[in-house]
Structure 1
Amino acid sequence: MNIDIPQLLYIFENLPNEILLEIFDYIHLNDLIRAFYNLNYRLNSILFSSNTHLYIVFPDDIIENSTHKKILLNFIRRQKYIARLRLSNDGPLLEHEFIRFPYIRSLILDIPTSEHIEMVSPKRFPRLEYLRVGYASATAQLNKLHQHIFSNGFPLLKKCSLNNIGEYQSWTGSPSIYSLGIWSNDPCLVIERVLYASMYLISFHLFLKWPSAYSILQDQIISQHTHLKYLKLHLSGLWTLEKLDSFLAYIPTVKILDLSSSYFDSHMIYFQWNFKELAYIFSCRLPNLSHFDCEIIFQNWKKIDLEEIPSFHSCFNCINYEIYADDDLFIRVFTDK
């Protein structure tokens, strides 16, 4: 028996706004303009609504498409709802008005200059939710930016990735930040300033170089952090298990810990990881720890007994190792995910 099945017409413009927004998020800006700009009022309103994360890479989107450069610049100048901006190099900001958009929620500075950093202010970016700043040596400008960040200058800021935090400043705190990535060579500053200012921080990605000036952190530097759940800690410099113990004492709520070290750090290569002692530190300092990852390089002075490691702590059940160099001098210890 033949049954006539009605043919449904799937017309692009009949799709719900939510589906169109999802589709537009995967299409490059130049292609969006060529395909959908000025077709009709509805598509224009969806393209440039305040909910659209319109992603601009400057100056790449301008320079690399000279054919559409004029229309693209005119289009950008007219849009106040651009939500994501990325400055991809350290070139001069030829179109200075281009960055003056009050609706930008995501800002990335790949190779920030002092001029770039100077422009990142609460007045210019009042709705900023995500900020990533690459390495820069502009100390004065960075200090001012860090003051804004850790004193609630950006009250909507949730995620932040910074470099070279190394100056003591009086920060009043930023309760909105829940995810943070930084590089520092000052353990006391991390505990006394960064963690204290980020009182509701949940996820922390920390590159911490331990200097020769510190032996261990003294007890009662400041109160313990009460919200941190995930710590990804990259170790460099003069770390010891005793120093790691003193650091973890300030973050007892951590549930997920990721430790790593580099082959290119001459100090950490010769660091000897005693997993029995490490397990004792975890038991004392991190009572809520439920997941542990590691990727560490060190000299193979003695073979690790993999059969014995899981018995030290329940989080050690996936640890493995491999030879890192042909001469067997170094080994890589890692979590088998």
Structure 2
Amino acid sequence: MKFEYLPNEILLDIFEYFHLRDLFQTFHNLNFRLNQLLYESFRSYSLDLRSISRYDFDIICQQHLPIILHKITSIHLADNDETPNLPQRFLSQSISVDQFTHLKSLSIHSIQSIDIIHQIIKQSQQVTHLKIIKCFCEYKEIQLINQIWSLPKLTFCHLDNLISKGIYFSELLTPSSTIKYLSIKNIICDFRSLSYVFQKTPSLQHLSTTIVCTEKFEKIPPPTNPLLTKLSLSYDGSIPSLMNLFQHMPLLRSLTISTSYLLLDGDEWQAILTDCLPQLKYFHFKMSFQFPQNYDTNDAADELLATYQSEFWIKKHQWHVQCDWNASDPFYGAILYTLPYMFHDYHYVNDSCSKSTLPNKTTCQTHIHVKNLQCEHNIVNHFIYLSTKFTNLSHLDLILPFNNEFLRNISTFTHLKSLDVTLLSSRDAYQQLQCLLNHTPHLYLLRFSHLSDMNEALFSLSNPSIRRLDFLNKQSMIYNWYFNTDECQALTNSILGRQCQTLIIDIQARNDVLDLVNNLTNLRSLIFQCKDDKGKQKLLSTTDDELIQWFHEHLPSTCTISRDAHISSIIQMWIR
């Protein structure tokens, strides 16, 4: 059967699988019937602007949005390396967020202006789900929190890693009777702030937070929240303070907790859970700790695991635990966690040892929730063999070269989306990297965290799915490698360069920037440092910035050019 003969119901089901920009690029103006389905019959759209070209963005905003405003149910906005300055451009259109009358979900990521965030939230009175992730909040953060708590229909609120000097929830003035699910990850709370969160969020049922207690016997002041049934907690404090917290959560049914430098054995946990959390059904923990020095770690692990093999753990709840430690660690570091491992991040060292309370040696399903894996090898022994299967990884951080035994587990990387590699030498590293790329069919981002030297093998790498290349280490600006003219030309002619859409790089000469923009035909955003940038040491206005003005004179007017608000030496271009 030909596609155009399919009934409307099937076509509408097919539309559900398309990104909005791809949907209109593929089906718009093919015939009257498809246009009618797109504009009239299709029930709802998700407006995802996190990875979009400037051209597609303008087409959507100018041609399609005015017609489907009332059908947009979710919006994703980002001001990052993929779409620099997109929120400013979005708000400059003749469309405001409050015109999306059926908007329910709003997600904003990496926006660097608190004023823009305020403007967006002010126009989002109808949303029920809100996510604000990695946004710039150096000041006015409490005004933002009060503004969020004032949203009349908000039930789900996720705030993660707001770059701020500190959010003081004790200054929270506006109560929210609608918020039931609150995640304030990577935002440190103390008991006093937590008490204010409970007071101003009386309907709260699920909470994810980070708590730091500086006193050994700290108590949470009233009011508390007896309605809380699910808690995900990163905790830094004493055991007595932790018990004081749990005593105010009698209805808690699910607890996920990670701790640092704190260790409870099975008997201690059993006493806490029995006395403080009688309704608990789902329990997951990860405790980072240190074994006593000058003590046999193998024997210490056996003694610790023995406390988790009682009837309470094995028969009543069927909760199993595992202990991992690095045999060469001079500080005797270790982690103890429940199985399956329920946390997204995992640090693997090649000479790690593991023991668990599982009745058999099968561990293939114990780490299926790990998304981000950092692999590290001992400098004496480059052998890496993953005895544990990580079958759902989306990000891998790896040092090359490694022992080829590592490739035995290469099939576990079929879901990998991003890869960070540190190249210590070029002898075997590039060959191994290509072998790894051959087994990552969905890889989107390849980042070189460190290049010890530039090798022509770099420009022979290939992987058909990669769309983003990152050579600029923002975390350690000391080790960045500046590409010269020949290297920029080689990158332009390489397979990865020709398919690259987002490029993050250090460049020696400004003219090479023009060549990259003009010759990389798929490039839509370019983030770079330029070695001959005279204004990189200070923030400059657009009119006084010599290099920015030079690029405006030599590039099309459609190209958006600006400096990073936090690292002034980095220039951002949204090209096409």
Measure how far apart 1:130 and its partner are.
1.8
Which residue of the partner structure matches residue 211 of structure 2?
184
Which residue of the partner structure matches residue 7 of structure 1?
5
Distance in 2, matches of 1:74 and 1:193, equals 48
Over residues 243-298 of structure 1, what are the superposed CA-to-partner deviations in whole Å (9 max), with x where a residue is unaligned? 53454342233333322245xx65799884722312338449x95x356576x533
Contact kept? 2:188, 2:211, Cα under 8 Å = yes
Over residues 96-141 of structure 1, what are the superposed CA-to-partner deviations in whole Å (9 max), with x where a residue is unaligned? 5343121233031424333134222256422222231425664563
Distance in 2, matches of 1:62 and 1:220, equals 42
Contact kept? 1:63, 1:69, Cα under 8 Å = no
Which residue of the partner structure matches residue 120 of structure 1?
145
Contact kept? 2:207, 2:232, Cα under 8 Å = yes
| Equivalent residue in structure 2 for 1:107, among 117, 131, 139 | 131
| Equivalent residue in structure 2 for 1:201, among 225, 229, 238 | 229
Distance in 1, matches of 2:253 and 2:100, equals 36
Change (3 A) 1:20 1:251: same
Amino acid across the alignment from 1:210 = G
Change (3 A) 1:80 1:280: same
**Corresponding position: 1:44 with 2:69:** yes
**Corresponding position: 1:21 with 2:34:** no
| Equivalent residue in structure 1 for 2:96, among 76, 87, 92 | 76
Contact kept? 2:258, 2:285, Cα under 8 Å = yes
Distance in 2, matches of 1:221 and 1:183, equals 15
**Corresponding position: 1:310 with 2:331:** no
Contact kept? 1:110, 1:133, Cα under 8 Å = yes
Contact kept? 2:79, 2:85, Cα under 8 Å = no
**Corresponding position: 1:97 with 2:95:** no
Amino acid across the alignment from 1:177 = L
Higher strand share: 2
Distance in 1, matches of 2:109 and 2:310, equals 46
Amino acid across the alignment from 2:227 = M
Over residues 287-334 of structure 1, what are the superposed CA-to-partner deviations in whole Å (9 max), with x where a residue is unaligned? 5x356576x533559x8766xx3359xxx99769xx986589xxx998
Change (3 A) 1:299 1:205: same
Give TM-score scaled by structure 1 length.
0.64
Distance in 2, matches of 1:248 and 1:108, equals 33
**Corresponding position: 1:157 with 2:179:** yes
Distance in 2, matches of 1:161 and 1:40, equals 31
Amino acid across the alignment from 2:258 = H
Q: Secondary structure at the match of 1:184?
A: strand
Higher relative contact order, chain-length normalized (CA < 8 Å, sep 6+)? 1
Measure how far apart 1:56 and its partner are.
2.8
Distance in 2, matches of 1:219 and 1:78, equals 44
Contact kept? 1:196, 1:225, Cα under 8 Å = no
Give TM-score scaled by structure 2 length.
0.41
Equivalent positions of 1:206-217 (< 5 A) are: 206-211=233-238, 214=239
Contact kept? 2:49, 2:76, Cα under 8 Å = no
Distance in 1, matches of 2:182 and 2:321, equals 23
Q: Secondary structure at the match of 1:53?
A: strand
Change (3 A) 1:95 1:142: closer
Change (3 A) 1:123 1:78: same
Measure how far apart 1:40 and its partner are.
8.8
Q: Which runs of 5+ in 2 are unaligned?
A: 12-33, 333-352, 368-374, 392-576
Which residue of the partner structure matches residue 280 of structure 1?
310
Change (3 A) 1:27 1:55: closer
Distance in 1, matches of 2:132 and 2:90, equals 24
Q: Secondary structure at the match of 1:104?
A: coil
Contact kept? 1:173, 1:196, Cα under 8 Å = no
Contact kept? 1:174, 1:198, Cα under 8 Å = no
In percent, how many aligned pairs have the same letter? 10
Q: Secondary structure at the match of 2:277?
A: coil
Which residue of the partner structure matches residue 254 of structure 1?
280
Structure number with bigger Rg: 2
Over residues 20-43 of structure 1, what are the superposed CA-to-partner deviations in whole Å (9 max), with x where a residue is unaligned? 525x35565874662375559762
Q: Secondary structure at the match of 2:95?
A: helix
Measure how far apart 1:160 and its partner are.
1.8
Contact kept? 1:236, 1:267, Cα under 8 Å = no
Change (3 A) 1:189 1:124: farther
Change (3 A) 1:245 1:46: same
Q: Secondary structure at the match of 2:188?
A: coil
Measure how far apart 1:53 and its partner are.
1.4
Over residues 154-197 of structure 1, what are the superposed CA-to-partner deviations in whole Å (9 max), with x where a residue is unaligned? 22223222221114246447453333211113399998569942
Distance in 2, matches of 1:4 and 1:107, equals 42
Amino acid across the alignment from 1:200 = L
Amino acid across the alignment from 1:201 = T
Measure how far apart 1:206 and its partner are.
1.1
Amino acid across the alignment from 2:60 = A
Contact kept? 1:192, 1:222, Cα under 8 Å = no
Change (3 A) 1:319 1:44: closer
Amino acid across the alignment from 1:236 = S
Q: Which runs of 5+ in 1 are unaligned?
A: none
Contact kept? 2:261, 2:287, Cα under 8 Å = no
Which residue of the partner structure matches residue 77 of structure 2?
56
Distance in 2, matches of 1:194 and 1:61, equals 45
